[in-house]
Each structure stands twice: as structure tokens, then as C-alpha cells.
């Protein structure tokens, strides 16, 4: 039985592709999912249940979900912007519904055209809908908090607001809370402050971090969150994602670099670094014009590198 200390979750198929102008063919998406699962990534956000006319990249959400669900051992997650999205996920039997709202009022209004209170009410309805399902058909419901570490409209976001909405989503029945630095504003000190404050209120409820590497602080923020006790992280292969507000800026945490850093720190991710790096070529072949990031891919592993699980065994 493979031991895991930290769960890394691939979000590139959703957060990475959603701003890319070219549709990635379904077969390529499936090949990516299968290869990354085979490399040891145990959870993948495979799509978003938004109307295809809003984001054509996810026009194949149903087929991608169905086929991802056939990958043995993989936890298949999908983003849901609202209860309509939740209905689609329930019909498909997806394992995890990743609901998202913004802590910043302006961002929430621009992104989902909802007051934050309306978003919390939406989330309550979704949890109710899920709990009405027969046992064995109930996906996990995740409460995601965007712009929790800064907002491109409002700037700094009060820690008290992050805690308040985390508690509201938890009380509404979330199985997990995701705290997201949507626009890459965070620094390690702020990560300590925000995550400690949220975790103090959430008790044993799992908490995950979704950082962006827009200003270079991504892995430093991961390390700070690790110190706080966070053990679930979102990332995307080759850092796919970018930021619509900063052309050329890298977006998500680079999955390959994240897995390397965690493994170096002695934290087992279950991911085979060499096999993970090979998945990059699948993405590159499918979308030759997409900008790929990653330091490990350029530099390679250190000489005589000893993996975390080998060190544990020694």
C-alpha cells in the first residue's frame, strides 16, 4: 500500500485550459488524465460544468467526466459554478463537486453575478441536493474561497472575511474547504496568518490550498502552508493557467516543481517525478502554442537524488 503524506491535485484541465483560446481535443484530455494518474496523481479536476457557450473549452465536460471515471483509483473532481453545475455532476456520478465563490464582494459579483450571501445560499442548496442522493452516489462537496489572499479589484482582503465565509461553507456542510490565492498576491507571512486563522475555526475539516505563482512566491507559500499543517494542494502540470490580468505571467503552481519540492522535503506525494515530467510532452503535442513553465523540467533532478520514500525506507 502506497503511503502518501501530501495530496497533490491536478487542476490544469480546468484552471489551465479555461483561458486558452484553442480547444484541447477530448482524446488529448483523456490521454493527459490517464498518464498523470498513472504517474501517481490521485485527484484531478477534469472539467467545469459551465455552459459551453460561456467556455467552449468545456463543451466535452460530460464525455471527459465519464471517461475519467473509468481510470482506476482516480478521484475525479469538477468545478461547479452553481446548482445547475451540481446537477450535471450528480447525473454523471463525479466524485467531487468543487464549488467556488469569492471572498471579495466585487470579484464575486463580476465572476458569478452574486452577492456573497447568495453564493452561500447556493452552496446550502447544493449540499441539500447531494444529501438527497442515495448513499454511494453522494459526491464530496468542496467549498472553495477565491481571492482569499487578495483581489485584483479590491486589493487586500480582510482575514475576518475569509474566516467568516470558510465557517459559513463548513456549517453549510462542506466536506473540504479550499482557500485560494486566485491572483497570486500572497506571501508566506500572509499564508501563515490566513491559514492559521481559518484552521483554528474549522477543527478537523480538511483544508486545501490553491495558490498561483503569478509573482514567484508560489512554492514559498506552499512551504508556509505545509508548516501550518495543510496537506492538500492544487497545481497544474507545467504551470498551465496564466492570469487573464497579467499576460505572460505564470498561473498555477507548477505541479512538477511542487512534487519535487515536497519530495525533497521528505513528504511523499505518491507521484513518480520522471513519469510526471513525461506527461508534459502529451500536453505540448496537443497544444504546441501553450506556454509551459517549470524549473525541474529544465534542470532535471539533482545528482544521486534519493526519493522521500527511499529515505523513509533506509
Smaller CB distance to a second copy: residue 124 or 192? 192
Only one residue has cell 496537506, namely 231
Q: Does 243 participate in catalysis according to the annotation?
A: yes
- Count of CB atoms situated within 10 Å of the CB of 310: 9
**How far apart (Å, rounded) are the C-alpha atoms in residues 230 and 241?**
23
Note whether 62 binds a second copy by CB under 8 A.
no
Contact segment (CB under 8 A) with a second copy among 16-24, 122-130, 146-154, 171-179 equals 146-154
Smaller CB distance to a second copy: residue 52 or 189? 189
Note whether 277 binds a second copy by CB under 8 A.
no
Smaller CB distance to a second copy: residue 122 or 263? 263
Note whether 180 binds a second copy by CB under 8 A.
no
DSSP E strands, 129-246: 140-146, 176-180, 207-210, 232-235
Tell which one of 66, 83, 111, 153 touches a second copy (CB under 8 A).
153
Smaller CB distance to a second copy: residue 134 or 155? 155
Total residues at the site for a second copy (CB under 8 A)? Answer: 50
Binding mask 199-238 for a second copy (x = CB under 8 A): --------------xxxxx-xx-xxx-x------------
Note whether 134 binds a second copy by CB under 8 A.
no
> Minimum CB separation from a second copy for residue 182, in Å?
12
- Helices and strands in the chain, H and E counts: 12, 8
> Minimum CB separation from a second copy for residue 146, in Å?
15
Contact segment (CB under 8 A) with a second copy among 94-102, 127-135, 230-238, 243-251 equals 243-251
What is the distance, to the nearest Å, from the Cα of residue 299 to the centroid of all Cα atoms in its chain? 25
**How far apart (Å, rounded) are the C-alpha atoms in residues 126 and 123?**
5
> Minimum CB separation from a second copy for residue 177, in Å?
23
Note whether 305 binds a second copy by CB under 8 A.
yes
Note whether 111 binds a second copy by CB under 8 A.
no
* Contact positions with a second copy (CB under 8 A) in 75-94: none
Residue 39's contacts (CB-CB under 8 Å, 6 or more residues apart) are 271, 272, 275, 276, 278, 279
* Phi and psi torsions of 293, nearest 5°: -110, 175
**Structural contact between residues 29 and 64, judged by C-beta atoms closer than 8 angstroms:** yes
Tell which one of 93, 173, 188, 206 touches a second copy (CB under 8 A).
188
β-partners of residue 98 are: 79, 142
Note whether 6 binds a second copy by CB under 8 A.
no
- Catalytic site residue from 151, 228, 243, 259: 243
**How far apart (Å, rounded) are the C-alpha atoms in residues 61 and 126?**
19
**Long-range contact set of residues 243-250: C-beta below 8 Å, sequence gap at least 24:** 243/183, 243/184, 243/212, 243/214, 244/19, 245/152, 245/183, 246/214, 248/291, 249/184, 249/214, 249/215, 250/213, 250/214, 250/291, 250/293
Residues catalogued as catalytic: 243
> Interface residues with a second copy (CB under 8 A)?
150-156, 183-190, 213-217, 219-220, 222-224, 226, 243, 246-250, 254, 257, 260-261, 264-266, 294-296, 298-300, 302-306
Amino acid at each position: 500500500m502506497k503511503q502518501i503524506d501530501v495530496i497533490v491535485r491536478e487542476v490544469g484541465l480546468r484552471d489551465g485550459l479555461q483561458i486558452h483560446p484553442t480547444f484541447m481535443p477530448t482524446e488529448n484530455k483523456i490521454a493527459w488524465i490517464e498518464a498523470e494518474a498513472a504517474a501517481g496523481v490521485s485527484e484531478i479536476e477534469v472539467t467545469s460544468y459551465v455552459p459551453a457557450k460561456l467556455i467552449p473549452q468545456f463543451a466535452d465536460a460530460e464525455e471527459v467526466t465519464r471517461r475519467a471515471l473509468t481510470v482506476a483509483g482516480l478521484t475525479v473532481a469538477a468545478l461547479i459554478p452553481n446548482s445547475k453545475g451540481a446537477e450535471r455532476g450528480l447525473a454523471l456520478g463525479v466524485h467531487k463537486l468543487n464549488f467556488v465563490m469569492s471572498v471579495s464582494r466585487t470579484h464575486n459579483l463580476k465572476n458569478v453575478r452574486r452577492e456573497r450571501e447568495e453564493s452561500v445560499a447556493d452552496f446550502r442548496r447544493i449540499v441539500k441536493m447531494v444529501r438527497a442522493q442515495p448513499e454511494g452516489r453522494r459526491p464530496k462537496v468542496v467549498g472553495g474561497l477565491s481571492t482569499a489572499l487578495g483581489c485584483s479589484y479590491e486589493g487586500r482582503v480582510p482575514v475576518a472575511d475569509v474566516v467568516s465565509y470558510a465557517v459559513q461553507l463548513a456549517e453549510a456542510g462542506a466536506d473540504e474547504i479550499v482557500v485560494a490565492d486566485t491572483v497570486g498576491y500572497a506571501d508566506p507571512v500572509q499564508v501563515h496568518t490566513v491559514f492559521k486563522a481559518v484552521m483554528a475555526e474549522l477543527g478537523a475539516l480538511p483544508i486545501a490550498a490553491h495558490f498561483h505563482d503569478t509573482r514567484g512566491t508560489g512554492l514559498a507559500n506552499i512551504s508556509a502552508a505545509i508548516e501550518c499543517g495543510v496537506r492538500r494542494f492544487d497545481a497544474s502540470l507545467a504551470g498551465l493557467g496564466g492570469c487573464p490580468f497579467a499576460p505572460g505571467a505564470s498561473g498555477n503552481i507548477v505541479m512538477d516543481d511542487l512534487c519535487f519540492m515536497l519530495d525533497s522535503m521528505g513528504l511523499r506525494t505518491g507521484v513518480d517525478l520522471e513519469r510526471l515530467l513525461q506527461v508534459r510532452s502529451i500536453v505540448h503535442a496537443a497544444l504546441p502554442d501553450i506556454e509551459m513553465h517549470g524549473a525541474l523540467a529544465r534542470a532535471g533532478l539533482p545528482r544521486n537524488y534519493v526519493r522521500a520514500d527511499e529515505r523513509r525506507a533506509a
